[in-house]
Homo-oligomer: A and B are copies of this chain.
């Protein structure tokens, strides 16, 4: 049997159905109609010679075959999105869309002023910021530029080392006034600790070093870093915080300063994007901004 290559649009349809769980929902998402989506799936199944979904009236169940193809379809989608982004800017100007990926804390607390400064200098630059603690695979081009906490190990990556972000235990002054300040590690057992999920690189590193801080002792847990950070800021207890971040808030007190964890930080982007002005400018500005965040030597630490 000869397989003629199916239309690439079918892959887009296929992914949408996979993501939305029904022909109708996929149709709404793509701006097409349900019969069209159904015919696309029919055609794709015919082209590859196996069933992709088991049809039922309340939706479609993906088969194993469909699930096996899903990562490829996702790569197609992110590559296509990256292509559109690359096409969005004129060649010799700093304009168009740049997509940045960073951890939640970095993305929410550190990057906004840096990005604002970039955009002040380059008004035509559009920034998409993906702030998530899930590891985004830079090579899938989900992001043009990534701020990462692990040393980039891939070949085609242009990476700049920012430095080591120290983390320490902090608490709000109000909390300490009320519950006292711990003097030794052992005192922590009597305190309200603010926890974190076990997914981020920083947590894994910490657990290795201070295994006594296991999750059972936490009084407040969330898988959302900003939630935890704000719990800390509102006096919810003692928790970890990036030291440079805490420095901006006079009410946060560094407790047990002998406990310290380091987050090695990098900015990485595709080598190909070096020649793209908008990516290059953003990359350089991110590197400079993050270094300034780490070591505010010059006095331009911005409002």
Query: Which of A's residues lie within 8 Å of B, judged by CB?
Result: 3, 5, 7-9, 11-12, 48-50, 64-65, 68-69, 71-73, 75-76, 79-80, 82-84, 86-88, 90-91, 137, 139, 141, 153-156, 272, 275-276
In whole angstroms, what is the CA distance A137 to B270 when docked? Answer: 13
Q: Given A3-B84, A80-B5, A153-B155, does the pair A68, B11 have CB atoms closer than 8 Å?
A: no
Question: Sorted from nearest, which 6 A-B pairs have the closest CB atoms?
Answer: A8-B8, A72-B83, A48-B87, A75-B79, A139-B139, A153-B153
List 5 A-B pairs, Cβ < 8 Å.
A8-B12, A65-B87, A72-B79, A75-B79, A76-B79
In whole angstroms, what is the CA distance A113 to B5 when docked? Answer: 31
Q: Which of A3, A48, A72, A87 is the most central at the interface, judged by chain B CB atoms within 10 Å of its CB?
A: A87
CB-defined contacts of A86 to chain B, threshold 8 Å: 68-69, 72
CB-defined contacts of A64 to chain B, threshold 8 Å: 91
Does the CB pair A137–B156 fall under 8 Å? yes
CB-defined contacts of A156 to chain B, threshold 8 Å: 137
Closest CB in chain B relative to A291 CB, distance in Å: 25
Closest CB in chain B relative to A93 CB, distance in Å: 12
Residue of B nearest to A150 (CB): B155
CB-defined contacts of A72 to chain B, threshold 8 Å: 79-80, 82-83, 86, 141
Does the CB pair A8–B5 fall under 8 Å? no
Does the CB pair B71–A272 fall under 8 Å? yes
CB-defined contacts of A141 to chain B, threshold 8 Å: 72, 75
In whole angstroms, what is the CA distance A68 to B279 when docked? Answer: 13
Does the CB pair A80–B8 fall under 8 Å? yes
Closest CB in chain B relative to A113 CB, distance in Å: 29
In whole angstroms, what is the CA distance A137 to B84 when docked? Answer: 22
In whole angstroms, what is the CA distance A87 to B64 when docked? Answer: 11
Closest CB in chain B relative to A44 CB, distance in Å: 9
Does the CB pair B91–A83 fall under 8 Å? no
CB-defined contacts of A153 to chain B, threshold 8 Å: 153-155
13 extra A-B contacts, CB within 8 A, seeds A8-B11, A76-B83: A5-B84, A8-B8, A11-B80, A50-B90, A65-B87, A68-B275, A68-B276, A69-B83, A69-B86, A76-B79, A137-B155, A153-B154, A154-B155
In whole angstroms, what is the CA distance A73 to B84 when docked? Answer: 11
CB-defined contacts of A50 to chain B, threshold 8 Å: 87, 90
Closest CB in chain B relative to A191 CB, distance in Å: 37
Closest CB in chain B relative to A206 CB, distance in Å: 21
In whole angstroms, what is the CA distance A83 to B276 when docked? Answer: 29
